[in-house]
């Protein structure tokens, strides 16, 4: 493989992390799928304290950073150069890798398929937005 990373631009990664967190906050809020998600994971609003929610959001930055960095590297390696390239790589990453891992939770743990669809939708949305941001930021 003839891959050389001449520079590492942290700005698109940072913006991708922030958008990932915003998409997640909306996706799992009452505005979109929060009520259904809570029912599927057997939680109520009373079960989730503000302190636990804030702690989860703080730790949520770790996978958001890792996802953005890995997407950055994957997009650099594949020399993605437009929205179409970004969407293809975003779909491969979200559906091909993330989605198939999530599907194992349905198959082996008996988690509801509807929960899989909600989580999968978030992965597709957040990774594709991140892929577009990173690809177009040059």
In the prediction, which pLDDT does 6 show? 62
In the prediction, which pLDDT does 128 show? 97
The answer as to whether 79 is a domain residue is: yes
The answer as to whether 125 is a domain residue is: yes
The answer as to whether 109 is a domain residue is: yes
CB 70 within 8 A of CB 14: no
Q: What angle do CA 56, 61, 67 make, to 5 degrees?
A: 125
When divided into structural domains, the chain yields a total of 1
In the prediction, which pLDDT does 39 show? 95
The answer as to whether 1 is a domain residue is: no
In the prediction, which pLDDT does 2 show? 53
Could you read off the pLDDT tens digit of each residue along the chain, which spans 138 residues?
Answer: 555 566 678 999 999 999 999 999 999 999 999 999 999 999 887 777 677 777 887 888 999 999 999 999 999 999 999 999 999 999 999 999 999 999 999 999 999 999 999 999 999 999 999 999 999 997
The answer as to whether 75 is a domain residue is: yes
Contacts of residue 71, Cβ cutoff 8 Å, sequence gap at least 6 = 16, 89, 90, 93, 127, 130, 131, 134
CB 77 within 8 A of CB 3: yes
The answer as to whether 63 is a domain residue is: yes
Predicted TM-score (pTM) of this structure: 0.89
The answer as to whether 2 is a domain residue is: no
Which domain, by its residues, includes 36?
Answer: 10-136
The answer as to whether 45 is a domain residue is: yes
In the prediction, which pLDDT does 53 show? 72
């Amino acid at each position: 493989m003839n891959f050389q990373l001449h520079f590492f631009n942290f700005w698109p990664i940072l913006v991708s992390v922030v958008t990932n967190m915003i998409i997640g906050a909306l996706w799992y809020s009452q505005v979109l799928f929060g009520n259904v998600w809570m029912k599927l994971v057997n939680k109520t609003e009373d079960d989730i304290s503000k302190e636990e929610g804030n702690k989860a959001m703080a730790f949520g930055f770790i996978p958001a950073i890792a996802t953005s960095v890995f997407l950055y590297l994957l997009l650099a390696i594949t020399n993605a150069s437009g929205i179409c390239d970004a969407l293809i790589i975003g779909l491969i990453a979200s559906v091909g890798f993330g989605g198939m891992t999530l599907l194992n939770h349905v198959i082996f743990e008996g988690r509801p398929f509807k929960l899989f669809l909600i989580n999968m939708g978030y992965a597709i949305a957040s990774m594709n937005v991140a892929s577009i941001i990173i690809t177009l930021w040059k």
